[in-house]
Amino acid sequence: MNSKKTIPVSLNDPRVDTFPTPPFEQQKQPFPGLVSKMIPVPDHGETSYKGSSRLKGRKALVTGGDSGIGRAVAIAFAREGADVAINYLPDEEPDAQDVVNLLSKEGHKIVAIPGDIRDEKFCQRLVKDAAEQLGGLDLLVNNAGRQQFCNSIKDLTTEAFDATFKTNVYAMFWITKAALEYLPRGSAIINTSSVQAFLPSDNLLDYSQTKASIVAFTKGLAKQLAPEGIRVNSVAPGPYWTVLQTSGGQPQEKVEKFGEQAPLGRPGQPAEIAGMYVALASNENSYTSGQVWCSDGGTGTL
């Protein structure tokens, strides 16, 4: 008897089927980088994500929605029926326009608002513009992040440290605070943390600190906003194949082997984590708040 199991057509082996595995080509871009220049280009769900009206009528703001996990979330939210506004840096306009063109052609409402979230006044304007253009706001995804590796604290400048905290922590605080003026009861806030909050790498000292801050912010704010009927949760990705890694997030020798250490033997694709954000955003998880959901390819960080 042949003991080898036949995999049903509806299933994919998460280790080998269709997913790119290391080694990857050498590639380096200046921060913040562009998806179109990555080899291979990540899967954000452009053709793979199929919606089922789980977020019909919702209004969402997603920071960092031009690429990586934010792009995958924007695509998933739109295909689940939400109107979506994405924020991104002006240098990322080509990626943002790809998202806008894709979703607009499918009949979804997608709003693009470029700008640097390290500026408090811009963060306030971003929320106001998003709410006005969408006709309301009930979903907020604080996802935009800055990650630049540095091998020694001796070489980590105050300017770089400040830029990471401004992008990852201050902006989350400013945007969330501004959004509370618009978020009604039943709204959801989702913050992108990282496994780096729990297992920090030696060359991501500032980045890992910000991700730990996001976990604390999420848990504390969830308690604070519970009486207002607003849920707050976080997603903690492990090694995901995004432009963040190839534009200074990791040294080239680690990019080439990126995700190799995970039990599944590869990095995750952004499309593979978007469903977590959809679940946390939907009314199906109305009793879930103050949680950190991890996706790390089997390492079991949380």
Question: Residue 278 is part of a domain; what is its CATH number?
Answer: 3.40.50.720
Q: Which domain holds residue 142?
A: 54-295
pLDDT digits (tens, 9 = 90+) for 204-260: 999 999 999 999 999 999 999 999 999 999 999 999 999 999 999 999 999 999 999
Q: Which residues are catalytic?
A: 207
User: Residue length, the chain?
Assistant: 302
Residue 36 lies in a domain: no
pLDDT of amino acid 18: 76
Q: Residue 4: its pLDDT value, please?
A: 59
CA angle 249, 114, 48 (to 5 degrees): 65
Q: What percent of the chain stands above pLDDT 70?
A: 96
pLDDT of residue 1 exceeding 70: no
Token pair 């913050």 is found at 191
Residue 89, in any domain of the structure: yes
Question: Is 222 domain-assigned?
Answer: yes
197: pLDDT strictly greater than 70: yes
Q: What is the CA radius of gyration of the chain?
A: 19
Is residue 205 domain-resident?
A: yes
List of residues 6+ apart from 228 with CB closer than 8 A: 185
pLDDT for 28-47, tens place per residue? 999 999 999 999 999 999 99
Q: Is residue 218 part of a domain?
A: yes
pLDDT band at 282 (very low <50, low <70, confident <90, very high): very high
Whole-Å CA distances, 244 to 16, 119, 185, 187, 249: 24, 21, 34, 29, 6
Number of domains the chain contains: 1
Render pLDDT for 135-183 as a digit per residue (tens, 0 to 9).
Answer: 999 999 999 999 999 999 999 999 999 999 999 999 999 999 999 999 9
Q: Say if 11 falls within a structural domain.
A: no
Q: Which residues pair with 48 in a beta bridge?
A: none
For residue 224, being part of any structural domain is answered with yes
For residue 68, report the phi and psi dihedrals to the nearest 5 degrees: 60, -145
The tokens describing 89, both together, are 């840096």
Is residue 182 domain-resident? yes
